[in-house]
Amino acid sequence: MAKSEEMRAKTVTFDPSQAVGAIEPLLQAGNKWLENWMAVGSELLEFSRARLDRSLEASKAMARMSSLDQAMDFQADYTRSALRDYFSEATKLADLSTRAMLDGLLTWQGAARAEASRAEMATRRAAAE
């Protein structure tokens, strides 16, 4: 008998407000994550537009070339330039992606810690009563 009373004293009742509070950090992290991935998408669109413009300009310039040697030199320069642009963009996207993941995790971690300390305080108050 004494054991069951002791178990009841240690049992914590479920409080729906605590569950809602635990969801809030996930929502904040999700919002931050979404904002950062939108920035990645915008960067991709901007880069694609710029590359398309440069490709069209290069095609027009190639059409105006008067000799095969001149066209080959131009194509080699264009290809080197495009390769540098792609490597630069890949680095930029890797940085943005890493920042997106870290920002989301750090937002969630901070909010989760705050929520855990609030829950602990509520548990201590309930235990004291």
CA-wise closest residue to 40 among 83, 104, 84, 111: 104
- Most distant CA pair in the chain, distance: 102
Domain-wise residue ranges, the chain:
45-129
pLDDT score of 86: 96
Q: Give residue 47's pLDDT.
A: 96
Supply the pLDDT for residue 18.
Answer: 63
Contacts of 18 (CB under 8 A, 6+ apart): 119, 122
Taking only the tens of pLDDT, the chain with its 129 residues reads: 556 655 555 555 656 666 666 677 778 888 888 898 899 999 999 999 999 999 999 999 999 999 999 999 999 999 999 999 999 999 999 999 898 888 878 877 776 677 777 777 878 777 776
